[in-house]
Every structure is written in C-alpha cells, then in structure tokens.
C-alpha cells in the first residue's frame, strides 16, 4: 500500500531574511504534526517555499524533520528545481537523509513541453531511486499536465503518486474517475487546494495535501477521519465551517495567510522569503479574528 494517503500536512519553513532555516521554529511546527498523528508530512512544499532555499538549507530542514519525527511520520520533501541536475542532487539528498518520497514539480522559467517534463522526471527517478510524487501545481509552475503525461509518468516505477489541484466541488467525481482510469492500480491520487479537497477525497482521492493541516492538524485530521469513516455529511459540515479560512487563502494565498497565523499563534517569528511580503496589518488582524472565531489554535 502507498504511504501517501490520508492527511499530508504541509507546514511553512520558518527562516530569517538571509534564507537560513529557523530549525527550532520548524521543529515546533513539526512537533504539532507528530502530536496530531498526521498520516504524512509534506516538507518544503510550495507552502514551505522550497525553491527559495539553497540546497544546504533544504538539507538542514529535512535533517531536522527526520530527527524530530523519529520515523513516526513518513516525510515527503520537495525536490523541485529549475535545472534537472539540481533536482537530481536534491532527490539524492532526500534519499540519503531519509525522506520516503520526493515531491517533484516541473519548475519552469523557459516554458517546457511534455517531452522535457517527462525526461526531467525519469532522470530524477533514475539518478536518485527516490519514490516520487508528481507535483501538478499550475499556479506556481504554469505547466499544464495533460492526462496523457500523468499516465505516462505513472508507469515509471519510482513515480508512485500525483498531487493534483482539487477541481471545483461539482467536478470532483468526473475528474477523479478520469484520473483514476489513467493510472495503474495502487497509484496514489491526492489533492491540494484546501477548500475543494474534501469533495475530491469523497470522490475517492487517496490523500489531502493540506496547507491548513501544516498548522492546524487536529482540525484537518478530524475531517479526514470522517471521510474515511464514510461520514460525508459531517466532513462537509466541518469543511464548510472553515470557509472563512478558505476565503482568506483565496484572497491572499495560503502561504501568506499561514505565515501570519503561525506568527499570531506565537509558534515562530518569521516572514515569507522576500520578495513575498507579509500581509498588511489589517489583513493580519482579520486572520487573527478568523482563527479565534473558528477556534483554530
């Protein structure tokens, strides 16, 4: 069975202005995830700002996470990079340090075609032997995965999973059925995009790659356990109650909101990597009020 199922929690990576990871703050975030018993940790995802960190800092973050979790929670780590050779080295690091999987996005500057992305993936897979999750995130990479390309990649032995943007709720069933038909049995299909993920999981998705879960694992675990227990209505109700949070994500991006929230909760004092700016004061205040009202802590 795949390790990528249930709740995969995606924390921010606290750092200073020079891009040095604040390992103590990261450990505080990870300790919450261990305590809540999330199914996996998505370290250095987009919310974890992986492309903004040097190889050295990505190593430091992963070493701290492996040490903090002590094998109790599987760790998937972002290994994406603009250059194939850099992605290979990051995947080799991840393999050596003890990640169970690498999350690989086709990071683009010059727009890439399907052949290029396919070659990129198989090179990283071959050179690292690390199990890989296809990271389909057109908001950041601007690369559009065709179903055919996902299907082709899913036949590569090291490629074990895909993280797709969750479609609008009313499209979840059709989208999931088509995606499932394109990949081999046992291949893990997971979803990101917090507000829409519940319907995608109810449609049969294996995993929720979850930004909110990186800071509020208890709440998100409750939703996942309800889904797994076929208590769809309760899961939907809890998800709907979080709508003010999903609205903030939509308006300011989940990354910016999570930085503000982690600071408000006193877990870290860190800002997103520049040029990304912290949200303005009045937005931070609204985030604080939302957390209080939703009893997120």
Q: Which range, of 31-39, 90-98, 106-114, 128-136, touches a copy of itself by CB under 8 A?
A: 106-114
Q: Which residue has the tokens 């500057």?
A: 109
Residue 118 catalytic?
Answer: no
Measured distance between the N- and C-terminal CA atoms of the chain, rounded to whole angstroms: 33
Q: Is 123 annotated as a binding residue?
A: no
- Residue window 11-50: x/- pattern of binding to a copy of itself, with contact defined by CB under 8 A: ------xxx--------------------------x--x-
110 binds a copy of itself (CB under 8 A): yes
* Catalytic-role residue among 5, 163, 252, 259: 163
Q: Min. distance of Cβ 43 from a copy of itself in angstroms?
A: 17
107 binds a copy of itself (CB under 8 A): yes
Q: Min. distance of Cβ 275 from a copy of itself in angstroms?
A: 4
Q: Min. distance of Cβ 254 from a copy of itself in angstroms?
A: 10
178 binds a copy of itself (CB under 8 A): no
115 binds a copy of itself (CB under 8 A): yes
292 binds a copy of itself (CB under 8 A): no
126 binds a copy of itself (CB under 8 A): no
Contacts for 36 with CB less than 8 Å, ≥ 6 apart: 9, 217, 218, 221
- Residue window 64-103: x/- pattern of binding to a copy of itself, with contact defined by CB under 8 A: ------------------xxxx------------------
Distances from the Cα of 21 to the Cαs of 12, 13, 16, 27, in angstroms? 11, 7, 7, 11
Which one, 3 or 43, has the nearer CB to a copy of itself? 43
Instruction: Compute the distance between CA of residue 129 and CA of residue 126 in angstroms, rounded to an integer.
Output: 6
CA angle 47, 30, 90 (to 5 degrees): 55
Q: For residue 149, give both structure tokens.
A: 């390309």
Q: For residue 201, give both structure tokens.
A: 């999981």
Q: Where are the alpha helices (DSSP H) in the chain?
A: 23-36, 55-69, 84-97, 114-128, 138-141, 147-154, 172-182, 194-202, 217-228, 232-241, 243-252, 254-264, 281-293
Tell me how many residues contact a copy of itself (CB under 8 A).
Answer: 37
Contacts for 15 with CB less than 8 Å, ≥ 6 apart: 21, 22, 49, 53, 57, 270, 273
Q: Min. distance of Cβ 228 from a copy of itself in angstroms?
A: 31
Which one, 174 or 276, has the nearer CB to a copy of itself? 276
* 214-223 core/surface letters (b: 16 or more CB in 10 A; e: else): bbbbebbbbb
* Catalytic-role residue among 52, 109, 118, 135: 135
- Number of other residues whose CB lies within 10 A of the CB of residue 164: 23
Helix (H) / strand (E) element for 237: namely helix 232-241
Which one, 46 or 239, has the nearer CB to a copy of itself? 46
Query: Which conformational region is residue 55 in: left (phi greater than 0), alpha (psi within -120 to 50 degrees), or beta?
Result: alpha
Among 51, 74, 98, 288, binds a copy of itself (CB under 8 A): 51
Among 56, 276, 289, 293, binds a copy of itself (CB under 8 A): 276
Residue 50 catalytic?
Answer: no
Q: For residue 269, give both structure tokens.
A: 């004092």
Binding site feature residues: 47
Binding site for a copy of itself (CB under 8 A): 17-19, 46, 49, 51-52, 82-85, 106-113, 115-117, 119-120, 123, 139-142, 253, 255, 272-277
């Amino acid at each position: 069975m795949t390790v990528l199922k249930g709740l995969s929690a995606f924390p921010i990576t606290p750092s200073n202005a020079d891009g040095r990871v604040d390992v103590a703050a990261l450990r505080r975030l990870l300790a919450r995830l261990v305590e809540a018993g999330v199914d996996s940790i998505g370290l250095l995802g987009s919310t974890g700002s992986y492309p903004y960190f040097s190889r050295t800092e990505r190593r430091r973050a992963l070493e701290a996470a492996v040490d903090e979790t002590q094998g109790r929670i599987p760790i998937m780590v972002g290994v994406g990079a603009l250059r194939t050779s850099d992605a290979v080295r990051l995947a080799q690091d991840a393999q050596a340090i003890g990640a169970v999987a690498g999350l690989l996005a086709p990071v683009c500057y010059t727009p890439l075609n399907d052949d290029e992305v396919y070659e990129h993936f198989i090179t990283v897979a071959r050179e690292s032997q690390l199990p890989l999750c296809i990271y389909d995130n057109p908001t950041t990479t601007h690369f559009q995965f065709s179903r055919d390309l996902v299907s082709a990649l899913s036949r590569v032995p090291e490629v074990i999973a895909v993280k797709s943007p969750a479609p609008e709720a009313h499209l979840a069933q059709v989208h999931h059925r088509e995606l499932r038909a394109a990949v081999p049995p046992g291949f893990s299909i997971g979803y990101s995009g917090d507000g829409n993920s519940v319907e995608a999981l109810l449609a049969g998705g294996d995993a929720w790659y979850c930004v909110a879960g990186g800071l509020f694992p208890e709440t998100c675990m409750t939703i996942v356990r309800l889904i797994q227990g076929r208590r769809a209505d309760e899961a939907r109700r809890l998800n709907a109650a979080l709508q003010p949070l999903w609205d903030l994500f939509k308006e300011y991006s989940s990354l910016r909101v999570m930085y503000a929230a982690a600071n408000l909760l006193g877990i870290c004092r860190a800002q997103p990597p520049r040029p990304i700016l912290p949200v303005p004061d009045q937005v931070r205040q609204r985030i604080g009020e939302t957390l209080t009202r939703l009893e997120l802590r």
